[in-house]
């Protein structure tokens, strides 16, 4: 009998999640309705952000924000090259120019200096990504350029100086794919604490048909998906606490290891949404080694954005370093004790 693989990512689906989904089906609530509105309320409470809308994809979430900020064809958006491909897809489909920047050498933050040097009269927005549960104060970026969009998928409930991250910029986006802290199967949410920004965003969403026509997105999250999100919100704190307990064992193993270092060595705020390691040898050989013991580990991104655009690697040295050496190891609350022990053993024995 083939040994069951410990997958790199696994959504934590509980009986309560399934009960909520079943309830939405029994009530025949498959489109946007009470479950989706309740999910938005839960997200608002979790992030302390006044205005939240749940949508059916992160692509539509990003598109809505760009349209609200009046980012048009041939305008520019600055974003790190170490980022999900979906953001590049949206920009290119809308014929907006992506301006790619490197991340900092010693921490997982987009380069402030490169952003400063990249701002032109065509710049309309800056996108910040928070990696692996590490987070930082976006204030220096907002000082450089006011229209900052955050991807808070891995840090959705985190705070800076007692203020929710999601409150600090014009818009924030959270992805709810199977890899993320909260999963709805697919979907995303847009957060804004400012009605001045949020009301125009809602005008781009088709809720009811109007005789006065303008193109709108049919993008609201279905009750079927939102039903799972409701109970995922309820269990978020418990799952994060369990993740942290597991991660402490990983951290002890890394400290004893000759083959790995931490994704960020300098002091940083974080929550344990993911666990990323830096390998000191070949990532290909490391992946092969772990697989031999039934453990799947993966690169955070299949490719960097500058690779997709055929830009010179030399302009993105820190991104290249993370691309070549960073690996995600399994971290989710349903891991068994024997799984955690095996993963720790592989960390300490690999070199």
Q: Is 121 exposed, middle or buried (0-12, 13-18, 19+ CB in 10 A)?
A: exposed
Average pLDDT of span 273-278: 94
> Do residues 151 and 127 lie in contact, with contact meaning Cβ atoms separated by under 8 Å?
yes
| pLDDT tens track for 299-345 | 999 999 999 999 999 999 999 999 999 999 999 988 999 999 999 99
Distance from C-alpha of 134 to C-alpha of 155, rounded to nearest angstrom: 7
The answer to whether 296 touches 3, Cβ cutoff 8 Å, is: no
Q: Give the pLDDT score at 209.
A: 63
Whether the CB-CB separation of 135 and 269 falls below 8 Å is answered with yes
> Which residue intervals of the chain bear CATH 3.90.1150.10?
236-349
Q: Which of 346, 308, 342, 311 lies closest to 327, judged by CA? A: 346
* Range 15-231: architecture per CATH: 3-Layer(aba) Sandwich (3.40)
Contact 153, 105 (CB under 8 A): no
Exposed (0-12), middle (13-18) or buried (19+): which is 167, by Cβ within 10 Å? Answer: middle
At residue 82, what are phi and psi to the nearest 5 degrees?
Answer: -85, 85
CA distance 273 to 345: 22
Q: What percentage of residues in the chain have a pLDDT greater than 90?
A: 74
Range in 20-24, 77-81, 103-107, 112-116 the model is least confident about = 20-24
Helix axes 34-47, 223-256, angle to 10 degrees: 40
pTM of the full predicted structure? 0.92
> What pLDDT is recorded for position 15?
60
Reply yes or no on whether the pLDDT at 14 is more than 80.
no
Average pLDDT over residues 288-304: 95
Residues 6+ apart with CB under 8 A from 139: 168
Nearest by Cα to 7 from 294, 317, 307: 294
HEC secondary structure over 194-205 = CHHHHHHHHCCE
Report helix, strand or coil for 103: strand
* DSSP string computed for 239-254: HHHHHHHHHHHHHHHH
Pick the CATH number of 236-349 from 3.40.50.300, 1.10.357.10, 3.90.1150.10, 3.20.20.70: 3.90.1150.10
* Dist. CA 280–CA 270, nearest whole Å: 23
Residue 1 has pLDDT above 50, yes or no: no
Backbone angles phi, psi at 158, to 5 degrees: -80, 155
Distance from C-alpha of 19 to C-alpha of 278, rounded to nearest angstrom: 39
Grouping H, G, I as helix, E, B as strand and the rest as coil, residue 113 is: helix
First to last CA, the chain: 30
pLDDT on residue 19: 59
Asked if 21 and 39 count as a contact pair (C-beta separation under 8 A), the reply is no
Q: What CA–CA distance (Å, rounded) separates 16 from 239?
A: 14
Token pair, residue 227, equals 């039903």
């Amino acid at each position: 009998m083939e040994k069951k693989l410990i997958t790199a990512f696994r959504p934590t689906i509980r009986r309560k999640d399934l009960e909520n989904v079943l309830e939405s089906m029994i009530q025949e609530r498959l489109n946007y309705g009470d479950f989706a509105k309740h999910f938005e309320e839960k997200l608002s409470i979790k992030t302390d952000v006044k205005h939240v809308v749940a949508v059916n994809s992160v692509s539509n979430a990003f598109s809505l924000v760009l349209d609200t900020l009046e980012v048009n064809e041939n305008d520019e958006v600055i974003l790190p090259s170490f980022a999900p491909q979906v953001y590049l897809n949206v920009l290119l489909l809308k014929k907006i120019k992506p301006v790619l920047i490197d991340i900092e050498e010693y921490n997982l933050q987009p380069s402030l200096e490169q952003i400063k040097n990249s701002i032109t009269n065509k710049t309309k927005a800056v996108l910040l990504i928070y990696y692996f549960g590490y987070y930082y104060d976006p204030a220096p970026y907002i000082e450089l350029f006011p229209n900052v969009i955050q991807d808070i998928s891995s840090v959705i409930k985190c705070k800076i100086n007692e203020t929710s991250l999601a409150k600090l910029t014009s818009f924030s986006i959270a992805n709810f794919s199977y890899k993320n802290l909260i999963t709805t199967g697919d979907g995303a949410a847009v957060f804004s604490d400012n009605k001045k920004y949020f009301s125009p965003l809602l005008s781009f969403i088709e809720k009811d048909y109007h005789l006065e026509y303008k193109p709108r997105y049919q993008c609201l999250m279905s009750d079927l998906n939102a039903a799972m999100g409701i109970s995922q919100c309820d269990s978020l704190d418990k799952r994060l606490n369990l993740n942290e307990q597991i991660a402490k064992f990983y951290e002890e193993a890394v400290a004893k290891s000759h083959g790995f270092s931490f994704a960020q060595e300098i002091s940083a705020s974080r929550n344990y949404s993911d666990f990323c390691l830096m390998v000191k040898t070949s990532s290909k050989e490391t992946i092969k080694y772990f697989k031999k013991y039934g453990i799947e580990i993966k690169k955070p991104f299949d490719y960097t954005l500058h690779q997709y655009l055929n830009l010179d690697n030399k302009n993105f040295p820190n991104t290249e370093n993370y691309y070549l050496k960073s690996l995600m190891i399994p971290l989710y609350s349903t891991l068994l004790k024997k799984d955690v022990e095996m993963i720790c053993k592989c960390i300490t024995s690999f070199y």
